[in-house]
Structure 1
Amino acid sequence: MSTYNVRLYQDSDFLAVRRIFTHGCHGHTAAAFYKALKLPHNWLLLLVVFLLPLVTIGSILLSILDVVIVLLMLWLSGREFFHSYAKHALLDDLKDITRYYLQREGYCFWVVESPAGEVVGMVAAAISHLPGGEKHIELKRMSVARTHRGKGIAKLLCRTLINFARKSECEAVVLSTTTVQDDALRLYERIGFRHAHTTYATKFTERLVRITYVIYKYDILKS
């Protein structure tokens, strides 16, 4: 890991950061789809749409078509959630990273450089507005380029942010993620984050694929 360098964001990183973040968000679509396929209510839905045309008009082709339509709907539901999330971030805090994160007290933004000098990861720190109390730093926008995953970069970014929060005399680091992101959840728990709260999506398409938001907390005072 010593060959990877964590440093503060620079304006020259703008396009690379947006690309890594966007690709990371879009990459969750497949995971959301496969998780949706494991849900009992979706199995029931698929069974109903398959049997209904078969029983009522005896059409196997229509039954298959209905199943394909439902599968497509599940895929697009997960895709819409993560694509909308990425679009919102690009138009919000990632529109002007320097002004949003580096020119505000309590905020920060780091990138990771590969040995070749390529930006391959990112993470942001922000004053938390999540439930749970004051003096919390929120971990946001963490993403690692797919070709550089599994090399400890995400852990390095988490530790960088935790150290920033500790030096800022904050009590805890909090973050919000989804249950779709299994690898991220396992990483946070290994580092020492603990589940603090769960909320459920309210939109129909999000409920269809059972998008669940998880709040994690790392207690600095106890570490």
Structure 2
Amino acid sequence: MAPYQIRQYQERDHKQVVDLFSRGMMEHIPATFRYVLLLPKTLLLLFAVPLTIVLVSGSWLLAVMCIFFLLLLLRLLAGKPFKEYVALCLQTDMADITKSYLNAHGSFWVAESGGQVVGTVGALPVKDPPLGRKQMQLFHLSTSSQHRGQGIAKALVRTVLQFARDQGYSDVVLETSIIQQSAIALYEAMGFQRTGKYLESGIVKWLLEFSIIRFMYSFPSTQEHAL
């Protein structure tokens, strides 16, 4: 028997869901920092600015201090997209999950283990889908760091796929950042196809090259699809 169960969200889950969501987003900051450090323009910046300081002032100490402050600045910038996203969600859909999902022709599920919420996922109809398509969008897939490797994320995605298929949707779509490599691998392994990629607006996100990848899972129209 699985050490967890997936059920629909209840109001008593709100604090645990918000805490899990917020912690999950913050976990991506170190990976973002590493990603930014390997960007060509970052490497150029970390080389050119200290070198210029040495050539102008002749001070290696000043150059080392410059590198330190540049790294500190990049670390702070790496956390900005996720902190902004969490703040936005806590003021919008995550403020009232029942209203935003369950009462809006969508749904929200939690994975529960030992009386604790260890996973979440939500789904909402896409307001303006492509002509001839009926699409459901997946939101906020997250699992507790202590409960990963148990198939919880895959089970939550399957729950969304089953819900969408039962409701007669043609596709399930989602978006995730290029930083979230484990999520990308999961979606691709489950049959989602990349449909596009875009760079988020804002100077910081442009500097970080913080791109978003779109995925879609399409249900066969002429045959039963076993999930």
Provide structure 2 residue ranges, at least 5 long, that are not aligned to the other structure.
Answer: none
Which runs of structure 2 are paired with 1:67-146 in the superposition (5 Å)?
Answer: 67-105=67-105, 107-114=106-113, 116-129=114-127, 132-133=130-131, 134-146=133-145
Shift of 1:132: 4.4
> Paired residue for 1:55?
55
Percent pairwise identity: 35
> Paired residue for 1:35?
35
1:12 aligns with 2:51: no
> Paired residue for 2:146?
147
> Paired residue for 2:209?
210
Shift of 1:2: 2.0
* Separation of aligned partners in 1, 2:54 and 2:128: 49
1:74–1:131 Cα change, 3 Å:
farther
* Separation of aligned partners in 2, 1:75 and 1:109: 33
Q: Which amino acid aligns with 1:11?
A: E
* Separation of aligned partners in 1, 2:77 and 2:126: 29
Provide structure 1 residue ranges, at least 5 long, that are not aligned to the other structure.
Answer: none
Aligned residues: 221
Contact 1:77 1:208 survives alignment (8 Å): no
Q: Which amino acid aligns with 1:183?
A: S
Q: Which amino acid aligns with 1:119?
A: V
1:39–1:130 Cα change, 3 Å:
farther
Q: Which amino acid aligns with 1:216?
A: F
* Separation of aligned partners in 2, 1:176 and 1:23: 19
Deviations 1:104-163, CA, capped at 9 Å, x for gaps: 22x10000011x121100000011247645410000011111111121110000000000
* Separation of aligned partners in 2, 1:39 and 1:72: 16
User: Match of 1:180, SS?
Assistant: coil
Shift of 1:221: 2.0
Q: Which amino acid aligns with 2:109?
A: W
Shift of 1:168: 0.6
Farther-moved stretch of structure 1 (5-14 vs 132-141) = 132-141
RMSD of equivalent CA atoms: 1.4
Deviations 1:68-105, CA, capped at 9 Å, x for gaps: 22212221112011000011001100101111111222
* Separation of aligned partners in 1, 2:205 and 2:115: 39
Contact 2:129 2:135 survives alignment (8 Å): no
Contact 1:24 1:144 survives alignment (8 Å): yes
1:82–1:131 Cα change, 3 Å:
farther
* Separation of aligned partners in 2, 1:218 and 1:91: 29
- What stretches of structure 1 move > 4 A for 4+ residues in a row? 129-133
Farther-moved stretch of structure 1 (131-140 vs 143-152) = 131-140
* Separation of aligned partners in 2, 1:17 and 1:54: 51
TM-score scaled to structure 2, two decimals? Answer: 0.93
